């Protein structure tokens, strides 16, 4: 047989995506498995997309995005992220996913090692594999509310390490890294001469503390910032995000994006521009709703004595389920089997913690992007089921 790309050959889909596919579109399931906002895309954003479809020719366009959107993004990253970057340093991408993939393709030579948090968002696995990179974990410490353990991070660096991936506010932990933590991460990237990829897909969702972008502290052009409309504007399916990168890298990221999609549809870019330049009250309203849901989830989990920490941002909560479902031997807990049984027997979908890394193999991640009623019924049902599971 002809050769396969060794990076992707035999790569299994991450269990979070398998669980997601199992329950996709099922109305009989309580959905807590994905970070999928249950809000509709705000009306003025939809209207801008429709107006473009009706009034403009939807043709080919620049691979790095239309200038008017990149100008809007330059103002946005100055406002939200304190990053001073001209439109030439911004690439419009197919969601944060496209931005991360194009960035990895632009910086990774075959065999490059990328430092990824343990736990980290499940989507990085396939991207790293496709880019021919090797994932090397650095631990986030549960005792520190899922913040980095710097000594362990430095021990994970080798001569092949190319990039340090940082995600704050984080998925799945919901941690918001302090200014001091971000400064230390930038300093480590400088000292070891690494790229720092900063996934800031949740930068609008901070409930305690402040969002600090590594690029705002970058003194020598090594930070790449990835953002998205998906979460802040409830636009997951529109597939629009961006990358802010140092000039030489921005050109490569533009090429890597164009190589995959040529250009994002114009109506999607117009909708993104409306999202970014239009009224921002919708973002605050959704953030307040997520914070209330977080408080509800925290109380439900605390009431069972299982609360390890309170997430300060994003919209996820990690629950140490193995303690309840497998109390005699938490290390033997099979989170994927549990998640499948929970769907089959109780109609509740969660993401098994093992999808995010070994550190959370005994956890379940619940998404707070679902309604309060779904959360209450889903979390209560999950915890009841875990208690029953222990007696099987
Ligand atoms: N990064 C993180 C940490 C995420 O949680 C997600 C989605 O859940 C993404 C990136 C990708 O989002 P999108 O491609 O929809 O912008």
Domain boundaries, the chain: 6-41+281-389, 58-277
236 lines ligand 1 (CB under 6 A): yes
Is the predicted pLDDT of residue 350 greater than 90, yes or no? Answer: yes
Q: What is the DSSP letter of 330?
A: G
* E-only strand ranges, the chain: 30-31, 90-93, 113-118, 134-141, 147-148, 161-167, 195-199, 223-228, 241-244, 316-319, 348-349, 351-352, 364-367
* Ligand 1 neighbour 96 (Cβ under 6 A): yes
Does residue 56 have a pLDDT over 90?
yes
Question: Is the pLDDT confidence value at 35 over 90?
Answer: no
Give, in words, the CATH class of 6-41+281-389. alpha beta
Output the residue whose Cα is nearest ligand 1's atom 7: 35
The predicted structure's pLDDT at residue 369: 92
202-231: burial string, b at 16+ Cβ within 10 Å, e else = bbbbbbeeebbbbbbbbeeebbbbbbbbbb
Task: Give the pLDDT confidence score for residue 17 in this predicted structure.
Answer: 87
pLDDT at site 290: 97
Structure tokens at 157: 């660096």
Q: What is the band of 11 on the pLDDT scale with cuts at 50, 70, 90?
A: confident
The rounded distance, in Å, linking the Cα atoms of 335 and 324 is 12
Top CATH class, 58-277: alpha beta
Span 295-299, mean pLDDT? 98
Residue 302: predicted pLDDT? 97
pLDDT value of position 13: 83
Closest alpha carbon to 354 in 305, 321, 390:
321
pLDDT (tens digit per residue) in 255-286 = 999 999 999 999 999 999 999 999 999 999 99
Statement: the pTM of the whole predicted model exceeds 0.75:
yes
- Residue 198 confidence (pLDDT) above 90: yes
Ligand 1 atom at minimal distance to the Cα of residue 98: 14
What token pair was written down for 233? 């504007």
């Amino acid at each position: 047989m002809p050769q396969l790309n060794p990076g992707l050959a035999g790569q299994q889909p991450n269990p979070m995506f398998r669980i997601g596919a199992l329950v996709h579109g099922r109305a009989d399931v309580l959905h807590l498995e994905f970070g999928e906002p249950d809000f509709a895309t705000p009306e003025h954003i939809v209207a801008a997309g429709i107006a473009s479809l009706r009034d403009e020719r939807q043709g080919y366009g620049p691979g790095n995005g239309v200038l008017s959107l990149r100008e809007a993004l330059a103002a946005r990253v100055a406002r939200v992220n304190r990053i001073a970057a001209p439109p030439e340093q911004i690439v419009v991408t197919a969601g944060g996913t496209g931005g991360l993939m194009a960035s990895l393709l632009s910086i990774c030579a075959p065999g490059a090692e990328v430092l990824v948090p343990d736990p980290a968002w499940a989507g990085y696995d396939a991207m790293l594999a496709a880019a021919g990179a090797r994932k090397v974990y650095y631990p986030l410490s549960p005792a520190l509310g899922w913040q980095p353990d710097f000594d362990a991070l430095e021990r994970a660096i080798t001569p092949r390490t190319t990039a340090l991936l940082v995600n704050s506010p984080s998925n799945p932990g919901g941690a918001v890294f302090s200014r001091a933590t971000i400064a230390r991460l930038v300093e480590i990237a400088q000292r070891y001469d690494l790229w720092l990829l900063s996934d800031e897909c949740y930068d609008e969702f901070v409930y305690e503390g402040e969002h600090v972008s590594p690029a705002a502290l970058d003194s020598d052009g090594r930070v790449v910032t990835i953002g998205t409309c998906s979460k802040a504007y409830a636009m997951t399916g529109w597939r629009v995000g961006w990358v802010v990168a140092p000039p030489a890298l921005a050109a490569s990221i533009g090429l890597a994006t164009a190589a995959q999609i040529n250009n994002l549809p114009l109506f999607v870019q117009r909708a993104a521009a409306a999202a970014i330049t239009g009224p921002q009250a919708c973002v605050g309203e959704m953030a307040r709703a997520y914070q209330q849901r977080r408080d509800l989830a925290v109380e439900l989990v605390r009431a069972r004595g299982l609360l390890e920490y309170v997430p300060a941002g994003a919209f996820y909560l990690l629950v140490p389920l193995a303690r309840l479902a497998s109390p005699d031997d938490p290390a033997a807990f099979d989170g994927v089997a549990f998640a499948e049984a929970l769907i089959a027997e109780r109609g509740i979908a969660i993401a098994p913690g093992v999808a995010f890394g070994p550190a959370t193999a005994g956890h379940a991640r619940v998404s707070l992007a679902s309604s309060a009623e779904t959360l209450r019924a889903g979390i209560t049902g999950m915890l009841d089921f875990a208690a029953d599971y222990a007696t099987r």
